[in-house]
A and B are shown apart, each in its own frame.
Chain A
Amino acid sequence: MDHSRRVWIGLLVGLLGLAGPSAADETCQSPYIPKLTGQEDFIYIWTVGIEGLGDGSDKVVTVGVNPERSDFGKVVSSVSVGGRHEAHHGGLSDDRRHFWVGGLDDSRIYIMDLATDPARPRLVRTIEDFTEKSGGVVGPHGFYALPGRMLISALSNAADGGGRTAMVEYNNDGEYIRTIWMPEGAPYGYDARIKAELNRMLTSSFTGRNNYMRKLSELLGDAEAMKNFGNTMVVWDYHARKPLQILEVPGAPLEIRWALRPEHEYAFTSTALTSKLWGIFRKDDGTFEAVELADIGDPSKVPLPVDISLSADDRFLFVNSFLDGMVRVFDVVNPRAPKVVYERKIGPQVNMVSQSWDGKRLYFTSSLLANWDGTGGDDAQFLKAYTWDGKTLEPLFELDFRSEKLGRPHMMRFGQIDFYRGRVSEGGAGG
């Protein structure tokens, strides 16, 4: 192509204002991360250490998940961070080169290099002064990539260990930028998700360190402590980082998933304590409303909904519930009238679910919190992989994290060798 044509094609496309759909990751991540559209080679799993099991430390475990490779279904590597810190969530940097993971107990953050050797992540930086730098924020929970930065939504504070908390921004080098405290009337935090086309961010609410570090059975019996859970979501002007609206969503709304298509101006969440699926819809006047949409299982049995995952075409919403170990698949084509179209028991307990961009593969992990996981035979710790054909889940492989002496598997992120090498694999790549 001659130069003049190259320039003009570019200019034309730009002038047409075709922002198109945001470059979303495997369906549920920041819109600022390039997506892996082909077969993933690895899953990186942030894993809670168990005393007396293996080295007993929290670790990032790399599992091979490409059926074409010899390491399919096997542990490829693991990198321990030393000690147990209540490993929980993590997220990729905006260029996918690094995997940030956090500990809810002592608020340490670990940054893993994935790009140098995607099969063997390497710990390259530890942030030990998160609470000091942020002005008293505790429990770094969500890690959400912004351009050149990481937005960390937290759960608690150092002053009283309660649920008043903040979001904290770091740059990609791991340097502190700023703290944004949750607003009066909605002090709790959990997830933070952005719909860039609308310049809107949604945040949700859980509970503080005093609660999440207690044993679940003990906590459920403490009526006073059970009052200390969030019942709100906040709509923010993302660019200005200013709260605009507080929405009442009773019962600890946790994970948030914005619809992925640019024209879809809504998001979903599930409430842990009340077992409801909620929709957050943009109204004609630009404000938002929270609408209770459906029960998740039998709310009277408190199945404790946890992670959710929305397919890239905004059709299927996978909803895990921890205490009954179920995944329920809602058809959300009509987002105001979701219908359960499939359900399956994954194990005695199940927490996280991640799906490939094409929606054909789903992965489940078992652990919620060290003190909330089941006991005895109910404390199965696994990664389970399935295929999804739009109707049923079929088992692909499973890995027992206890027999592998690894720990409690939690957050998952995908990796692909070709992505870092610049090779274009089936399904294409951005460029």
Chain B
Amino acid sequence: MRTLVRGVLTGAGYLRQSWSLVLLASALVGAPSPVTAEDLRYELPAAGSYALPVIDRVSDYEMLGADNRRGPLLDLAAGQCAVVSFVYLSCTDARGCPLALATLRRLDRLLADRDDLADRVRLVTVSFDPERDRPPQLASLRRHMDPRADWRFVTAASPTELRPVLRDYGQDAVPLLTSNGAFLGRMRHVAKVFLIDSEGAVRNIYSSGLMDHRLLLRDLETLLLTDAATPRP
């Protein structure tokens, strides 16, 4: 399986392989995919049985949406929280942006089926490649992802506008260059997904190994179903 996927990553013609197209078609129409997430190799802790302490605080930022309109990145009401992932569309690191996108897509489906959570959680995908990932590209991404819950796609007007956002979240993104200084089209980054509460507090950060939609949902349950009963000072 790994070899086949490397083929998808590196061989342009590989998308023509029929099994890939089955996957594409299945995902496009929302039919059950023949490929599902790996089984968890551990038991999820019970919701509310553990703490999600405040790790950091972030500000809200004016960003550019897939609809080409400016608006706040988070824009959370009291009692809401956000799951924020930073990606760039040219990423080919299977453990990076593709995994973050797929995780949010699976989470989006889970949330859509949860009346108690769906209107209290906002998913936000932020591009950290604002020069190439413009609103039309994000709109295309949104169409492909076909959100069922509240999932927004935003970018920045410029790298300058993006810089303080990345700094505030602690999201690294370094353009990769050849020895001659030419841009390779890729960025070095640590894939991170952030769980943010309505006060702008970072309550968890997910990365390789524990970036999983079921774990995220359990944290959302813990945060939204137990935090409300325990007002913070």
Binding site for B on A (CB under 8 A): 1, 3-20, 22-23, 31-34, 94-95, 97, 146-149, 169, 171-173, 175, 177-178, 194, 196-200, 237-242, 265, 286, 419-425, 429-431
| Residue pair B103, A14 in contact (C-beta under 8 Å) | yes
Given contacts A14-B98, A148-B55, 5 further A-B contacts (CB under 8 A): A5-B15, A9-B9, A22-B95, A237-B50, A429-B176
Q: Does B112 contact A (CB under 8 A)?
A: no
**Nearest CB in chain B: distance from A136 CB, A:** 18
The A/B interface has a contact count, at CB < 8 Å, of 201
Known: A13-B99, A23-B208, A31-B208. A95 touches B177 (CB 8 A): no
| Residue pair A9, B92 in contact (C-beta under 8 Å) | yes
Q: Which residues of A contact B178 (CB under 8 A)?
A: 423-424
Q: Which of B33, B42, B93 contacts A200 (CB 8 A)?
A: B42
Known: A8-B24, A11-B27, A240-B45. A422 touches B144 (CB 8 A): no
Q: Does B53 contact A (CB under 8 A)?
A: yes
Q: Which of B12, B42, B56 contacts A1 (CB 8 A)?
A: B12
| Residue pair A286, B42 in contact (C-beta under 8 Å) | yes
CA distance A422 to B207 in the complex (A): 21
| Residue pair A22, B208 in contact (C-beta under 8 Å) | yes
CA distance A15 to B146 in the complex (A): 14
Binds A, one of B67-75, B113-121, B187-195, B223-231: B187-195
| Residue pair B102, A14 in contact (C-beta under 8 Å) | yes
Q: Which of B9, B41, B187 contacts A197 (CB 8 A)?
A: B41
Q: Does B175 contact A (CB under 8 A)?
A: yes
Q: Which of B2, B20, B91, B184 contacts A424 (CB 8 A)?
A: B184
Q: Which residues of B contact A199 (CB under 8 A)?
A: 40-42, 210
CA distance A33 to B191 in the complex (A): 11
Residue from B35, B36, B140, B190 with most neighbouring chain A CB atoms (10 Å): B190
| Residue pair A178, B51 in contact (C-beta under 8 Å) | yes
Q: Would you give the 0/1 interface string for B87-131, flagging 1 where the beta carbon is closer than 8 Å to chain A? A: 101111111111111110100000000000000000000000000
| Residue pair A8, B144 in contact (C-beta under 8 Å) | yes
Residue from B56, B89, B177, B208 with most neighbouring chain A CB atoms (10 Å): B208
Q: Which of A10, A147, A178, A198 contacts B207 (CB 8 A)?
A: A147
CA distance A238 to B43 in the complex (A): 11
Residue from A19, A169, A265 with most neighbouring chain B CB atoms (10 Å): A19
Q: Which residues of B contact A169 (CB under 8 A)?
A: 53
CA distance A391 to B211 in the complex (A): 38
Q: Does B202 contact A (CB under 8 A)?
A: yes
| Residue pair B93, A239 in contact (C-beta under 8 Å) | no
Closest to B185 in A: A1
Residue from B5, B96, B170, B178 with most neighbouring chain A CB atoms (10 Å): B170
**Nearest CB in chain B: distance from A215 CB, A:** 40
Q: Which of A12, A33, A146 contacts B8 (CB 8 A)?
A: A12
| Residue pair A18, B5 in contact (C-beta under 8 Å) | yes
| Residue pair B54, A177 in contact (C-beta under 8 Å) | yes
B residues 140-155 with Cβ under 8 Å of A? 140-141, 144-145
Q: Does B160 contact A (CB under 8 A)?
A: no
Q: Which residues of A contact B98 (CB under 8 A)?
A: 9-14
Closest to B172 in A: A95
| Residue pair A147, B38 in contact (C-beta under 8 Å) | no
| Residue pair B190, A196 in contact (C-beta under 8 Å) | no
B residues 1-53 with Cβ under 8 Å of A? 1-2, 5, 8-9, 12, 15, 20, 23-24, 27, 33, 35-38, 40-43, 45, 49-51, 53
**Nearest CB in chain B: distance from A264 CB, A:** 12
**Nearest CB in chain A: distance from B105 CB, A:** 7
Binding site for A on B (CB under 8 A): 1-2, 5, 8-9, 12, 15, 20, 23-24, 27, 33, 35-38, 40-43, 45, 49-51, 53-56, 87, 89-103, 105, 137, 140-141, 144-145, 170, 172, 174-179, 184, 186-190, 192, 202, 205-211, 215
| Residue pair B5, A196 in contact (C-beta under 8 Å) | no
**Nearest CB in chain A: distance from B10 CB, A:** 10
| Residue pair B89, A15 in contact (C-beta under 8 Å) | no
**Nearest CB in chain A: distance from B87 CB, A:** 8
CA distance A240 to B45 in the complex (A): 7
CA distance A419 to B208 in the complex (A): 20
Q: Which residues of A contact B205 (CB under 8 A)?
A: 146-149
Closest to A180 in B: B51
Q: Which residues of A contact B175 (CB under 8 A)?
A: 422
| Residue pair B188, A431 in contact (C-beta under 8 Å) | yes
Known: A9-B92, A239-B50. A424 touches B208 (CB 8 A): no
Contact sample, A vs B, 28 pairs, CB 8 Å cutoff:
A4-B140, A7-B144, A8-B144, A10-B92, A11-B98, A13-B5, A13-B98, A13-B99, A15-B33, A17-B38, A18-B5, A19-B94, A20-B94, A22-B95, A22-B208, A23-B95, A31-B208, A34-B190, A95-B170, A172-B56, A173-B56, A177-B54, A199-B41, A239-B215, A420-B174, A424-B178, A431-B96, A431-B187
| Residue pair A10, B177 in contact (C-beta under 8 Å) | no
Q: Which residues of B contact A240 (CB under 8 A)?
A: 45, 49-50
Known: A7-B144, A14-B105, A19-B208. A177 touches B177 (CB 8 A): no
Q: Which residues of A contact B50 (CB under 8 A)?
A: 237, 239-242
Residue from B5, B24, B172, B210 with most neighbouring chain A CB atoms (10 Å): B210
**Nearest CB in chain A: distance from B79 CB, A:** 23
Q: Which residues of B contact A241 (CB under 8 A)?
A: 50-51
Q: Which of A10, A31, A237 contacts B91 (CB 8 A)?
A: A10
Q: Which residues of B contact A97 (CB under 8 A)?
A: 172
Q: Which residues of B contact A6 (CB under 8 A)?
A: 89-90
**Nearest CB in chain A: distance from B81 CB, A:** 17
Q: Which residues of A contact B206 (CB under 8 A)?
A: 147
**Nearest CB in chain A: distance from B28 CB, A:** 9
Known: A8-B144, A14-B103. A196 touches B208 (CB 8 A): yes
